[in-house]
Structure 1
């Protein structure tokens, strides 16, 4: 899948998959929302608005109030690629979010996921 195809995918299409992944492992939608809001700076109302507007991932991250300053602490592998080594800033942000949801689904404590 090319980067452009991922960038133009609607966040509203991916969001339910994040929730399903987390819920299958006993986590909640609220925890997924908390992780997304932590990374992007959206509040819950703004997150809902992004989903309702059907924005693509490029727009979702471009309109994000502020990427969390501790996001650079997110390390690890997603889809066989180390997130800290990704050169494209948008792709790195997308993979950061993927990694956070993965950590949530694996049962990691929320405080550790949120790099507190």
Structure 2
């Protein structure tokens, strides 16, 4: 049995039978998270940026001090330089990004992309 990435019980009083907040269609570009992405460590923020060519999303982390980090090496250096965050594990960070849904990429971009 294939594991479903969708969970409908995250909000109290909401079920999978309730109407969606927004309907899936091609008026916007959609992306879905891959399963198993860990919760971002406290104080840090995980941000995703859609590439101009719509080919994928790039993940990066924003530190509690506001610095953008794009690699595990940068995160390791930040933790080493800031003793306050020594208890933060590198394994808590994931640069896995969302999958861009091909059927919602604007037609003009599809002409330039081969998946």
TM-score bucket of the superposed structures, by smaller chain: under 0.3
Query: TM-score by structure 1 length?
Result: 0.20
* Structure with greater proportional helix content: 1
* Structure with greater proportional strand content: 2
Query: TM-score by structure 2 length?
Result: 0.20
Structure whose alpha-carbon radius of gyration is higher:
2
